[in-house]
Amino acid sequence: MSKEDLIPFKKGQSGNPAGRRKGSKNRSTIVKELLAIIIKLDNPLTGQEEWLTNEQHMTISILQKALKGDVNAYKALMDSAYGTAKDTMDLNTNEVISHDFKKLISGIKSKQ
């Protein structure tokens, strides 16, 4: 068996030239459809039987975990509600930095 026999496709050749079948769904579409399914169950927050989507039911479950002190569940809820925290940089400093831009530019030009 030669090395060429082990390579399934020639360089630049698609493994699926016909592409995805028409009507086939990608993973995110399938998950969104599953989350949108409505089920009738007892809402643990209100104690009443209600129609809830799977997404609402899972969110309530995460909320219950957070209320019991689960830090990861709390973080997941906060990130969903308010977005993830951004790294910040303190620009209020008393440090004075002086740059000699002519020297910097000449140094850059000398390396080229």
Query: What per-residue confidence (pLDDT) applies to 59?
Result: 94
Q: b or e along 66-78 (b: 16 or more beta carbons within 10 Å of the residue's beta carbon)?
A: beeeeeebbebbe
Beta strands in 5-62 (DSSP E): 38-42, 49-53
Greater pLDDT, 98 or 1:
98
Q: Give the model confidence (pLDDT) of 35-79 as tens digits.
A: 999 999 999 888 999 999 999 999 999 999 999 999 999 999 999
Residues paired with 49 in a beta bridge: 42
pTM here is 0.56
Helix or strand holding residue 35 (H, E) = helix 27-36
Residue 1 pLDDT level (bands cut at 50, 70, 90): low
Q: Is 62 in contact with 76 (CB distance < 8 Å)?
A: yes
Those residues with Cβ within 8 angstroms of residue 59's Cβ, 6 or more apart along the chain or in another chain = 77, 80
Q: b or e along 19-57 (b: 16 or more beta carbons within 10 Å of the residue's beta carbon)?
A: eeeeeeeeeeeeeeeeeeeeeeeeeeeeeeeeebeeeeb
Distance CA 105, CA 109 (A): 6
Q: Could you tell me the two tokens for 27?
A: 């993973």
Q: Give the model confidence (pLDDT) of 76-100 as tens digits.
A: 999 999 988 777 766 777 777 777 7
Query: What per-residue confidence (pLDDT) applies to 34?
Result: 95
Query: What per-residue confidence (pLDDT) applies to 5?
Result: 64
